[in-house]
Amino acid sequence: MKLLEGKTAIVTGAARGIGKEIALKYASEGCNIAFTDLVIDENGKKTEEEIAAYGVKCKGYASNAADFAATEKTVEEIKADFGSIDILVNNAGITKDGLMLRMTEQQWDAVIAVNLKSAFNYIHAVLPIMMRQKSGSIINMASVVGVHGNAGQSNYAASKAGLIALAKSIAQEVGSRGIRANAIAPGFIETAMTEALPAEVRKEWCQKIPLRRGGKVEDIANVATFLASDMSGYVTGQVIQVDGGMNM
C-alpha cells in the first residue's frame, strides 16, 4: 500500500518549484492533491495534468493565500470537492530582499503577509476539519535562515522563524486531537532561482556544506512525505533541517 493512499493534501504555492515537487511526490504515494497559486495559468494547468497522471484526483485553485477571506472560501471549496483534508503544506512564499536600512515597509509587509500570514490563514481554515476527523498533518515550509538569520533578508528570515514557532505552537494546541504540526527548513536547494546565481557564488555556497553540494527539490519532497505519512506518527513540533549539514 502506498504511504498516502486515499488521503487529501492542500499544498499552497504549488504550481511550480518545491511545492510542485511535493505535490507530485504525494500523488505518487496515492494522495489526492488540491494545490493553490495566485493564478492557475497554462503552467498551473500543466501541473494539474502531471499530478493527475498518477491516477489521483487533482485540482488547482486560484487563490491569494495572504487573503484571510479568500483562504476560507478556497478551503470550503476544497472540502466540498474532496470530502476531507488530511494534510496541509504551507509552501506559499516570496522574497523581497534588502538591507534593513533600505528596506521599505511594503517589502516587509508583503513578505510577512505571503510567507507567514498565509500559514495562519490556512491553518485557521483547516483545523476545524482536522479536529472533526481527529487526525491531520500540518507542514510549514520554513528555511535555515529562519534558524540562524541572514543579512539582507530580515523580512524573509523573520517570516520563516515565525513559521517554525507557529508549527511548534499548533503542535502543542492540537496534539491531543491527533493533529501533528512540523516545519521543514531547506538549505541551499537547486531550483531555477539558485541556478540564476553566478557560478562562483554557487561554488562558494557548496564549499560551506559538509555534503559539498546543493540539495535537490526531491530531498525536500521526501521529508515532506515522511511528515505527511503515518511513518512520522510520533513526530510533532519539530523543525527538520534539510541542508546537507550546513547549519549544524
Count of CB atoms situated within 10 Å of the CB of 243: 22
DSSP helix/strand/coil, 39: coil
The Cα–Cα gap between 21 and 27 comes to: 10
156 is catalytic: yes
> Which position has the grid cell 517570516?
159
DSSP helix/strand/coil, 125: helix
Number of H helices, E strands in the chain: 10, 7
The Cα–Cα gap between 45 and 25 comes to: 17
The 3-state DSSP composition of the chain as helix, strand, coil percent (nearest 5) reads 50, 15, 35
Question: Which among 54, 61, 122, 156 is annotated as catalytic?
Answer: 156
The Cα–Cα gap between 72 and 121 comes to: 8
Q: Alpha helix locations (H) across 116-242? A: 118-133, 145-148, 154-174, 192-195, 199-207, 217-228
Catalytic site positions: 156
